Amino acid sequence: MAKMEVKTSLLDNMIGVGDMVLLEPLNEDSFINNLKKRFDHNEVYTYIGSVVISINPYRSLPIYTPEKVEEYRNRNFYELSPHIFALSDEAYRSLRDQDKDQCILITGESGAGKTEASKLVMSYVAAVCGKGAEVNQVKEQLLQSNPVLEAFGNAKTVRNDNSSRFGKYMDIEFDFKGDPLGGVISNYLLEKSRVVKQPRGERNFHIFYQILSGASEDFLCKLKLEQDFSRYNYLGLDSAKVNGVDDAANFRTVRNAMQIVGFMDHETQSVFEVVAAVLKLGNIEFKPESRVNGLDESKIKDKNELKEICELTGIDQSVLERAFSFRTVEAKQEKVSTTLNVAQAYYARDALAKNLYSRLFSWLVTRINESIKAQTKVRKKVMGVLDIYGFEIFEDNSFEQFIINYCNEKLQQIFIELTLKEEQEEYIREGIEWTHIEYFNNAIICDLIENNQTGILAMLDEECLRPGTVTDDTFLEKLNQVCATHQHFESRMSKCSRFLNDTSLPHSCFRIQHYAGKVMYQVEGFVDKNNDLLYRDLSQAMWKANHSLIKALFPEGNPAKINLKRPPTAGSQFKASVATLMKNLQTKNPNYIRCIKPNDKKAAHIFNDALVCHQIRYLGLLENVRVRRAGYAFRQAYEPCLERYKMLCKQTWPHWRGPARAGVEVLFNELEIPEEEFSFGRSKIFIRNPRTLFKLEDLRKQRLEDLATLIEKIYRGWKCRTHFLLMKKSQIVIASWYRRYAQQKKYQKIKSSAIIVQSYIRGWKARKLLRELKHQKRCNEAATIIAAYWHGTQARRELRRLKEEARNKHAIAVIWAYWLGYKVRREYRKFFRANAGRKIYEFTLQRLVQKYFLEMKNKMPSLSPIDKNWPARPYLFLDSTHKELKRIFHLWRCKKYRDQFTDQQKLIYEEKLEASELFKDKKALYPASVGQPFQGAYLEISKNPKYKKLKDAVDEKIIIAEVVNKINRANGKATSRIFLLTKNNVLLADQKSGNIKSEVPLGDVTKVSMSSQNDGFFAVHLKEGSGAAGKGDFLLSSDHLIEMATKLYRTTLSQTKQKLNIEISDEFLVQFRQDKVCVKFIQGSQKNGNIPTCKRKNNRLLEVAVP
């Protein structure tokens, strides 16, 4: 990828012309050549004054990085090269600093990059506005609304793989600081006919393919779907897979975006169930049957699909089957039921599918608006972003192209009006004389379409509403009668003779000469598409569904609210929407982005001149340039103008000391520019002809070259002088250092010689002294060794004598002992032989048992009942005795341990046992609470004078007193409260004042809910209708959750004789006044350590992040 060249001004290093207002000469060929030249050099943005032309490069360019955002931030619009960021910054700064509401209008045909342009605008605004948790959440929700709407409203077409099939207008609301508060989205004319039929080479809406590709098998099974695209008639198979598009990954992105925007899990499930029902409607097929009276009716071929649809939507199968076979018409007090033939049944099926998907899309927009709307009611600044379909000219143009082109006519009208208005206001503001500008006013074309009496839409509505046979041909005849003489209307059947010979216009068509060119429309389908009828039987069947979302989508199906008045037509609804949009845009300061598609192949580096020329014509870009150039082609503030061109005049170079305007006047007089070529405004200089500006640029370029040569000359002289002085100074320093080095070397040599002589003399003296000391030492050691040898000899002699004497004494004692033993054995031999075996056995057994008990005495384990250690069995015959001793010892030490307990300790252990039964292996916090004693009274209310008022108000025994955090539903923040539990009541009191805030009888407490994770959050649910339930349930947080829940459970059981329900779940509902809010526990890292935090995600969801 080529690296983009950074420019510091619109006129610096200009490739072609950056602003088309400066193009010379101005014609269609030069316009296209300039765009092509810039496109070939990766310059995809070009200006027409303040309008941005954007050409789709069909590839990624390195011009949208965070560095680029900072480069264009707070810069003048013309200060840098053309970019969409420059327009976004100009709009945002005008909104923030000048308090002007802004709108950005993005137009162009399908595939020109409108959707990407709107994303770039929103991402730039998100990057430059304020920071903070709340602001970042709002920005993330605004940005994540795009993937959801793209999945449900975009499709692959022959011109664009991600074509928006609806118009979108988003109002982003800001506070006085310029930080986003929220937004509101409006959608226009979803192409719902695509649900049931797609042109060849195109796909249905993205969401159908994303579900089938990205959902798990279990999820698809719940939706009664299969992954095979060929199973569904509403999905075109020739373009089911798109190169470079990962539908499975996009499905995960959509689900994540829906969660970020604020969709609840059950809402997401309901949306996908409706999508699945629409997909399966296409598989319902009908067969003809003849009745007895000769009328044709239709029957469903295979009812399995119908059965699955009814299971998804909760509709009675017989009710929906009858709605597909019969139609009921009501007129005042009469009801007439008629059968539907096969063609009418297919029409009813497709109409239901289109209405169901269209209403689901509208509900999605409403639901997103509910989540992203501003929560505060302060005055807001608004920036609107309009991403709407461009002018469309196809081979076959129908009703959709007609109203799309009508919308573009209105946008062109307001574009010309606001552009002229902006020009006129600037001229008046600067004191420049305003001259009238001639331009084509397309109001006559708008009147042809929208006139309330003779407009085409009025004629279409009149045909749809009149009694009798109404067809597309009768509508065309009506147009021929009313619009025959209009100069922008053409028809083969027109009364005007000049069209009778035009054989290129078929009989079933009419042609309108739009501002962008002539467009031929096929009248086939105009009446049906304008009626947009859904049989009342189908509406009522949908309203009877047990599916809450589907029931909400069809309010007119309620029998109690039957309205016999005909619903408004599609054309009248779109006309009203366009009128509202135009009124909204006229209240804001406009900013324009004109998107152009360079080729039809969706390929990079290809520029199709004919295709681009066609778009330039219908976008009216040349007309825009001519309007802009009708007065003055270029204008610039005095300060930057003087700064840029001051080197062209000696009086202003290098510094001008006076006012900037005076300097510009001196400069232009010096250059002898004709007075008719420029005018002085109050703050700007206005230049009439681009040639004058280019002349200034040429003079500036030449002068810069001369200045560069002068600067180079001065720099070279300075560099040579500096180099000479440096060499001279260096020579002096080197000489002084060398002389110093030579003297140091000489001194070191003399010093080394002296040290060597000294060392030799000292060594000789030391060796002489050492020899004398060694001789003296040897003499002393010789006498000592001789004495030691003599003493050793004497000692060894004495030792041998003593050993011989001891051996003699021992021999006598041994002989005497053997003799006595012999005498005893001979005397008692006759008595010993008879009982020897038994005596030896009893003696041995006695000695073994005695030894066993003595060893057991020394090896006894501790007296702790939980100590399972026991000495090993020494002999097999003592096995039963060993086990019995172990049992007796354990019973004895358990009794000794129990005898130590007081009554209070026994109660505590009973509570610990109850807590184990309630929370062991269920609550992750339980193991940490086992070693903590249950104290109950953590606040010494009776001793602390701070709580005297609270003590006086409570006349019962307090079982537990603890400070807890009460969670605020509005923002998820915590407020400290005193939690008191007595025999009959639960009380919450203010920690500072001691005033009782809430008092709940134990009989009104129905349930306690908590998560399974390591947190202290719990909810106390109150009985509906009770006096204490007026403000809803309590959501609390405590450091002693296990103790509080156990004591509340035991006290409730003691007083009401009923077990309190303890619910342990990571997601539960809490009643706050009239609303139910979902409390959801998720795993997440915490900035403040291991403390769980509670955060409000939207009006229906509180998230608790647990480490």
Q: Which residues are catalytic?
A: 110-111, 115, 160, 163-164, 390, 392
> Taken in order 405, 407, 409, 411, is the CA torsion positive or negative?
negative
Specify whether the CB–CB gap between 1004 and 1022 falls below 8 A: yes
Q: Measured between alpha carbons, how far is 652 from 662 in angstroms, rounded to an integer? A: 10
Q: What is the token pair recorded at 723? A: 């180099």
Specify whether the CB–CB gap between 183 and 172 falls below 8 A: yes
Residue 865 CB neighbours (<10 A): 14
Q: Which of 373, 408, 374, 368 lies closest to 388 in space, CA to CA? A: 408
Specify whether the CB–CB gap between 960 and 985 falls below 8 A: no
Q: What is the CA angle 236-239-240, rounded to 5?
A: 70
Specify whether the CB–CB gap between 700 and 648 falls below 8 A: yes
Total residues found in the chain within this entry: 1107
Q: Measured between alpha carbons, how far is 515 from 101 in angstroms, rounded to an integer? A: 29
Q: How far is CA 133 from CA 130, 847, 974, in A?
A: 10, 83, 17
Q: Measured between alpha carbons, how far is 283 from 230 in angstroms, rounded to an integer? A: 11
Region class of 620: left (phi > 0), else alpha (psi between -120 and 50), else beta: left
Q: Measured between alpha carbons, how far is 26 from 242 in angstroms, rounded to an integer? A: 41
Specify whether the CB–CB gap between 506 and 492 falls below 8 A: yes
Q: Are β-strands 1075-1083 and 1093-1098 bridged in parallel, bridged antiparallel, or unpaired? A: unpaired
- Give residue for tokens 């063609």: 343
- Give residue for tokens 């497709």: 350
Q: What is the CA angle 209-211-217, rounded to 5?
A: 125
Specify whether the CB–CB gap between 210 and 254 falls below 8 A: yes
Instruction: Tell whether omega for the bond before 25 is within 30 degrees of 0, i.e. cis.
Output: yes
> Taken in order 687, 692, 697, 700, is the CA torsion positive or negative?
negative
Specify whether the CB–CB gap between 180 and 142 falls below 8 A: yes
**114-128 vs 84-98: helix crossing angle, rounded to 10:** 50
Q: Measured between alpha carbons, how far is 497 from 519 in angstroms, rounded to an integer? A: 20
Q: Measured between alpha carbons, how far is 567 from 565 in angstroms, rounded to an integer? A: 6
Q: What is the token pair recorded at 749? A: 């040599």
Specify whether the CB–CB gap between 78 and 59 falls below 8 A: no
Beta strands in 515-651 (DSSP E): 517-522, 589-596, 634-637
Q: How far is CA 803 from CA 95, 711, 800, in A?
A: 119, 117, 5
Specify whether the CB–CB gap between 167 and 389 falls below 8 A: yes
Q: What type of residue is 4?
A: M
- Give residue for tokens 């000292």: 762
Q: Is 962 helix (H, G, I), strand (E, B) or coil?
A: strand
Q: Measured between alpha carbons, how far is 286 from 347 in angstroms, rounded to an integer? A: 11
Q: Measured between alpha carbons, how far is 1067 from 1104 in angstroms, rounded to an integer? A: 10
Q: What is the token pair recorded at 938? A: 């953590």
Beta-bridge mates of residue 384 = 103, 171
Residues ≥6 apart with Cβ < 8 Å to 261: 141, 144, 145, 148, 368, 371, 372
Q: What is the token pair recorded at 447? A: 């009147």
